[in-house]
Amino acid sequence: MKKLALILLSLLALGRSYGQITYNNSIGLGMYACNLGVAPAINYTPRVNIMSVTKEGSVSLSIPFGLGYTPNGGALSNSLVLDIPIMADVNLGHASSPDGVSDIGEFFGIGYGFNLFGNTPSSNASHGLILNAGARMRIAEKSYGIRVSYMRNFMTGGSSIFGAGLFYTFGEF
């Protein structure tokens, strides 16, 4: 874990030294699912591009935060869902950097996160390795996208979590 933090801080410092850091954020609707149920959610994702690889590529750090609620039915009915991952992503094509001109792009990444699927930490708390991927596209001069994720639970008693969502990206792209 210390090595990962050191690598991420080094990348942040490298990006800052070349003046390549850019920021944008997304908001959208999604869902989270585990063996105990499915929950619709609102997602907000701040993203910092820490290194431009090319005009159409970057490396970024993001926190695709999700907040949901399980409707009636299932083992966790009327419960909150909280998803807080920290991701390192590779972005290609559309919305990868302010200089890009592509109308379609993709991203993929790895990270670590915490998920609470219930009203108390003992109900179904999970943490673990997360993989995510998605696509972004320009439609009528606006940026939209789709994201899927999978968190492999490392905690006894918790569940692995699948997530999916649609989003709108604010900022320069």
| Per-residue tokens: 104 | 């379609």
Phi and psi at residue 154, to the nearest 5°: -110, 0
Q: Which of 87, 94, 88 is nearest to 146 (CA)?
A: 94
Q: Model's pTM, two decimal places?
A: 0.83
For residues 72 and 151, the model is more confident at 151
The Cα 90–Cα 113 span in angstroms is 18
Q: Where are the domains of the chain?
A: 2-170
Winning range, highest mean pLDDT, from 4-8, 48-52, 97-101, 157-161: 48-52
**pLDDT one-digit tens code per residue, 5-33:** 666 566 555 544 445 688 899 999 999 99
Q: Which CATH number does the domain 2-170 belong to among 3.40.630.30, 1.10.3720.10, 1.10.287.70, 2.40.160.20?
A: 2.40.160.20
pLDDT of res. 78: 76
